[in-house]
Amino acid sequence: MRFDGKDNKQKATVMKMDELSGVTVPAHGGATVSLMKSGDIEEMKKNLFLEAVEHMELQDEIYDIIWKVWDYTDALHDVALDIMYNQEKYPNTG
């Protein structure tokens, strides 16, 4: 839409955008957003879906690692508490 009263089309030749924020409080400053335009909306939907699935698989792998680390940390915590509260079971050999 033109605001100068003319109706002929205009062509943008230069565009500079430093930041465009769609939120009032940013959640992740390092996040990026990609814009795309496609004539084949179904192909674009398929590609976006496949990319989302790929990220979900990576997220699942990360969660698996976190849960393993949590299990080890939890076990270490339990042993430390056991040693602390039951010192007679664990004589000081040091």
The string of DSSP codes covering 22-91 is: -SSS-S-TT--------S-HHHHHHHHHHHHHHHHHHHHHHHHHHHHHHHHHHHHHHHHHHHHH-GGGS-
Q: Is there a domain that residue 61 lies in?
A: yes
Read off the pTM: 0.33
pLDDT of 42: 83
Q: Is there a domain that residue 74 lies in?
A: yes
Count the alpha carbons within 13 Å of 48 in the hemisphere toward its beta carbon. 11
Q: Is there a domain that residue 7 lies in?
A: no
Q: Is there a domain that residue 24 lies in?
A: no
Structural contact between residues 9 and 17, judged by C-beta atoms closer than 8 angstroms: no
pLDDT of 25: 67
pLDDT of 51: 81
Residues spanned by the domain of 62: 41-89
Helix (H) or strand (E) holding 8: none
pLDDT of 61: 82
The count of structural domains within the chain is: 1
